Amino acid sequence: MTRHDVRPLMALVLLAILVSAVLVSAGNEGEQAHPRGYVVILKNGQRIPAREPMKIMGQQVFVTLMTGTVTAVPLTMVDIIATQRYNKLGLGSALTIDELDINPAPIATPTPKVPLGSIVRLDAGRQPVLGTTTTPTPTPTPGIKLQDVPYPDPKVDKAFRTIFDNRKLYLFRTSVGTRPGYFFVQAITDSEKEVFHTLKVVAEAFAMIAELHPEIAPAAVELEMITTSNKPAGTFRLTAEQAEELRSGKVSPEQFYVTHVIF
């Protein structure tokens, strides 16, 4: 191939690069980063700064990095609860940018599990210890908490308890919610697995009661999940429609958590 033959080929390559750059620029035009940034926390402790909230699709979590690149991380490697808890604080990624590392390949590590066999009762009065150097956690949503008044219809309370027992949900207490027609559940959850199991069981119980006995079903179910050290693990207010979505499998427990948690 002569020098004269190479020149047209190089021109075509340069033109292709130029067109590609224009298309990428046009595709990125109008994209807006999350106002304060977003942080995805992995189970190995790694934190990934992102431009916008993560998206869960099946068993993959899609993260838009600060550069605009979209990367996929296996759902099993993402600490959903810690991610949502941190981002609910509204700190964004600016305050922790020095801690963040997006280059190394993430490596999954086992998550310690607190044994539940030694738990004999729930203590809603205990408060988290202050003055630690760990990342602060948001306080539970005001009003959504265990009340001194039981739910007014004992048949409904018994129905929930029966379903909970059958689905192996044992560490819980119930009361009336923030309104007379709201049913409240407080449950101990010391691992991600227990959080999603509890969320699904409560939704299944609510959907079943609403389907079989709509005339006496609660208007909503409020769920507060806490750890044995009284650390919030997720607060929800479920409607019957939302409960049915989760029971039917239209949405996964992980996606439901990300979408509806209010802490």
Task: Give 154-260's CATH code, choosing from 2.60.40, 1.10.730, 3.30.300, 3.30.70.
Answer: 3.30.300
Q: What is the pLDDT of residues 60-76, one digit of tens each?
A: 999 999 999 999 999 99
What does the pLDDT average to over 22-33? 41
Q: What is the pLDDT of residues 177-191, one digit of tens each?
A: 999 999 999 999 999
Class of domain 38-96: mainly beta
pTM given for the model: 0.69
Indicate the domain borders of the chain: 38-96, 154-260
What does the pLDDT average to over 217-226? 98
Q: What is the pLDDT of residues 193-202, one digit of tens each?
A: 999 999 999 9
SS3 annotation, the chain:
CCHHHHHHHHHHHHHHHHHHHHHHHHHHCCCCCCCCCEEEEECCCCEEEECCCCEEECCEEEEEECCCCEEEEEHHHECHHHHHHHHHCCCCCHHHCCCCCCCCCCCCCCCCCCCCCCCCCCCCCCCCCCCCCCCCCCCCCCCCCCCCCCCCCHHHHHHHHHHHHHCCCCCEEEEECCCCCEEEEEEECCCHHHHHHHHHHHHHHHHHHHHHCCCCCCCEEEEEEECCCCCEEEEEEECHHHHHHHHHCCCCHHHHHHHHCCC
